[in-house]
Structure 1
């Protein structure tokens, strides 16, 4: 049996003894301290250790049973020649199970599965505690900033109050203005008290979870954005491959199946090898008579009827298997729901933050402008107070959105089973899965837990695309139009031959309306693949900042899928490239999303083996035209398919 120390969660982190440790790695520090002190984690740890002894107990069925019995006594009887005598007996019995209907082997398998269930429950509880601690830390950090905003807002109101009070005393301002600012000042004071109350509550929660109060000076916690999958389906795939709660449900099914097999043993005979040696001595009529007896043999026992107990136990075990399967399905549903919500919140807040930031910036400028205009009599007091309040609310909304997004990222990581490694939090006393089993479960998550993209069924995507298109009109068309690379014609003679993508096929018969002009096409205007094709640009115009493939461009991907089906020895890497304008890291991530979107269509819609399809985003690393212009942006923003032999 593997030996593990009693203390489950002593983290090998020197920084945990440093009072300033959470200035260095705040989320790691808070999570590790919480796990060390959390009773739920300790309970899960001891449940895991208990399961280890359960396996040892089950294995005992393979070993012989050795029993010794002895007696010594004074006996009396009313028959025979001697009515009183001493008698001493001793017997040694050895029994070895030869066959028990595989009850022992299935019981061992069952307890091995239970041990793995407890292991994954321990990891799940550890991740849950780390999530609670990390979220509590972010909440403390958030409300500290909100307290500062509320205090700054109060200070501004106090300044205006003093100015109005002096003006009223001098007879310049009206008494009603003083009442108005007095009411707004009271509201600002109430806001400060509210934020302090919120800070108190989250600090108390932090104390409960982590076991100590947060320090006054806390280093901001920033999460690595590279941990965010490029699609919800990818996030779900990661979750079903790593979620400890999901694996616990899978091993629960195996444990119940093993229990059902063990119950079948009741319908088989039991065969034991037994050996017995006994001795008996008796003092009778003054003579010491000693008798010995020995036996070696095979004992067979087969139950014919026991009131239907065995049948009932077996049927109950089968129902327990069904319960375990539905518990697995519930785990799928819970993961899918929680991950969908967290992932969608990340996406929504990511799109809201620029607008909230713009609102905050504009509100701050308006506040300053209105204050200056009020000083020269061009704005009313109500204008100033409204601008001050809107500035406070806009700053508050932006701050809340920032922290809510980080909390959503933490929740997403926890649902995917990636929070502990991301935070670098794991007890060195925990065993690895390889130490516990040589045959881990390999499952097909796609069949067990089908993926659904809820966001794809909502109109919000269309709304966001329309908004981005309006905000970035000059970037809305990403395919390079033909007019950008040919001289402007001065001849105004009308023509009936229209070929927007410049591939030589007129629009009316072009079923692939955005094929790059340099691509070899067939009579329908779609890419022409041959045995020697190695690199093809796929004509898919993406909307600005979007990775959604519109339906009219699926035909081009269909041609690539047909080519791969006809050539099973070939693989493809879908490469995404971005224009040079914009932030480099963002462009790389966007190119990854676009490449992944095309690869996902090949796999899911056209049933191409995932092993034959890869995707990679190069961002701005491989531009065709090394400049920033409408023409260069259109040329650089592209999707390429690189085809290779297996």
Structure 2
């Protein structure tokens, strides 16, 4: 998918999060640890050299001999060189297991960096979102405070009724509650930003919009890219390969082990032989375990089950990524259309609110009509602001699902020199139970819905529709709810 670099402000937020987030640092250390494990496995076929030394006093007892006891002081120092000649390829498969394990840690690191970068940018947009919602709540409070003061002045002058003052007071209290809720939500998302990025947000104006970011042409392109480039799937594939290599290691227990050994040493009464000062031995040693209580068979069966488990986990990860990518891309398309409707909605409601205010001033509208219109406008503006920020986040989610968020940010992946070559692919280890088709949803055509509406009008004897007048106000909305932590972490 063609991508264009995201704005520098987003790049700086993601970079700061990746440099300071402890989860990323933990993944880096896990990768280095896996590299050392790979080095340890590679040493299996290298010779082993041991230095040994001893000093001892032996006391032996004999029958039918005089004296019946004998004491011998002995010392010795020597070198032993051991080289494995054959171990049923256990060392070879263990090296492969360790190398696949190293790639697992690398892909997990890439997946974590993509996720942390996405979380940081979501936190950035959530802070911007709730700052705007606080501003809208403040404007809503100002409007209701002005209405309350106006009605209170009229009531004191004997022009307005007491019930109007009570209605204005009730709506003012609701506006104050909404403002407090939005301020609390802003506090929570700011705390989340601090946790992820490690520093306070520096956002001073509106959030950067991503309208110019190149998006995939269709859902099929998104799904193909996600299933081939998402690091979580790559890590699951390498886990499967590591489990297969581990199963081969366990199979080697059924074969003999052959070693070449060279040992030399010197000392006083060396190796307990009186008068011996030196000993040199070269030998080929074969050891073949014939029975050990069924432990080898149990380990082979365990490895086979772990191999099946790794395949199941690979398919489960693939399904999760497929769902995430499909939903993220669908959200971008849905929200683009939804923003148009929400913008038209808030524009129409604002015009209706202004008309109601003029009519209220000349006594042609009740206070309740005006208060309802004001609350409906606040709700419409709030919905538009939420959808606008949700759209930018959905675009970022799409990039992350495809494994392309860091490249789109213009950031290199950590430990890029450790990445497998460009020819890496899942090949025959690709997921077997993972859909690659786009979700199909049956939707009633809009023309059919319009026709149903016309039939409904005809059944009620309603004349043909005329150009719409100003929108009628809806009942007052429920108080704004504090967003849950789960909602803010989505």
TM-score, normalization: structure 1? 0.64
What is the rounded CA distance, in whole Å, between the counterparts of 1:417 and 1:438 in structure 2? Answer: 15
1:356 aligns with 2:342: yes
Deviation at 1:85, TM superposition (A): 5.2
Deviation at 1:30, TM superposition (A): 2.4
Cα gap change, 1:392 to 1:421, in 2 (>3 Å): same
What is the rounded CA distance, in whole Å, between the counterparts of 1:308 and 1:225 in structure 2? Answer: 65
Cα pair 1:26 1:218 within 8 Å, conserved: no
What is the rounded CA distance, in whole Å, between the counterparts of 1:341 and 1:365 in structure 2? Answer: 35
Instruction: State the SS of the aligned residue for 1:131.
Output: helix
Runs of 4+ in structure 1 displaced over 6 angstroms?
A: 78-82, 464-467
What is the rounded CA distance, in whole Å, between the counterparts of 1:72 and 1:255 in structure 2? Answer: 46
2:43 maps to which of 42, 60, 79: 60
Deviation at 1:224, TM superposition (A): 5.3
Q: 1:577-599 deviations in whole A, cap 9, x for unaligned?
A: xxxxxxxxxxxxxxxxxxxxxxx
1:118 aligns with 2:76: no
Counterpart position of 2:434 = 449
What is the rounded CA distance, in whole Å, between the counterparts of 1:217 and 1:302 in structure 2? Answer: 73
Counterpart position of 1:140 = 127
1:393 aligns with 2:379: yes
Greater RCO, 1 or 2 (C-alpha within 8 Å, sep 6+): 2
Cα gap change, 1:399 to 1:313, in 2 (>3 Å): same
Counterpart position of 1:331 = 317
Q: 1:355-412 deviations in whole A, cap 9, x for unaligned?
A: 1000011111111121122222222222211111111111111001111122222222
What is the rounded CA distance, in whole Å, between the counterparts of 1:170 and 1:144 in structure 2? Answer: 39
Counterpart position of 2:474 = none
Instruction: State the SS of the aligned residue for 1:217.
Output: coil
1:248 aligns with 2:231: no
Aligned length: 438
Deviation at 1:319, TM superposition (A): 1.1
1:38 maps to which of 14, 21, 35: 21
Counterpart position of 1:537 = none
Q: 1:149-181 deviations in whole A, cap 9, x for unaligned?
A: 111111111222222222222222222222221
Counterpart position of 1:152 = 139
2:197 maps to which of 199, 210, 221: 210
Cα pair 1:276 1:296 within 8 Å, conserved: yes
Deviation at 1:338, TM superposition (A): 1.7
What is the rounded CA distance, in whole Å, between the counterparts of 1:413 and 1:449 in structure 2? Answer: 20
Cα gap change, 1:158 to 1:344, in 2 (>3 Å): same
1:278 aligns with 2:261: no
Deviation at 1:39, TM superposition (A): 2.4
What is the rounded CA distance, in whole Å, between the counterparts of 2:107 and 2:184 in structure 1? Answer: 38
1:459 aligns with 2:446: no
Cα gap change, 1:439 to 1:66, in 2 (>3 Å): farther
Instruction: State the SS of the aligned residue for 1:70.
Output: strand
Gaps of 5+ in 1: 1-21, 471-646
Deviation at 1:257, TM superposition (A): 0.7
2:283 maps to which of 288, 297, 301: 297
Counterpart position of 2:406 = 420
Cα pair 2:225 2:402 within 8 Å, conserved: yes
Deviation at 1:429, TM superposition (A): 4.3
What is the rounded CA distance, in whole Å, between the counterparts of 1:225 and 1:325 in structure 2? Answer: 40
1:410 maps to which of 386, 396, 414: 396
Cα pair 2:42 2:95 within 8 Å, conserved: yes
Q: 1:163-213 deviations in whole A, cap 9, x for unaligned?
A: 222222222222222222121111111111111111111111112222222
Cα gap change, 1:78 to 1:158, in 2 (>3 Å): closer
Deviation at 1:219, TM superposition (A): 5.2
Deviation at 1:255, TM superposition (A): 0.5
1:101 aligns with 2:103: no
What is the rounded CA distance, in whole Å, between the counterparts of 1:448 and 1:60 in structure 2? Answer: 38
Instruction: State the SS of the aligned residue for 1:431.
Output: helix
Counterpart position of 2:481 = none
Deviation at 1:310, TM superposition (A): 1.5
- Looking at secondary structure, tell me which structure has more helix per residue: 2
What is the rounded CA distance, in whole Å, between the counterparts of 1:203 and 1:261 in structure 2? Answer: 51
Instruction: State the SS of the aligned residue for 2:53.
Output: strand
What is the rounded CA distance, in whole Å, between the counterparts of 1:466 and 1:351 in structure 2? Answer: 18
Instruction: State the SS of the aligned residue for 1:71.
Output: strand
- 1:599-638 aligned at under 5 Å gives the runs none
Counterpart position of 1:492 = none
TM-score, normalization: structure 2? 0.83
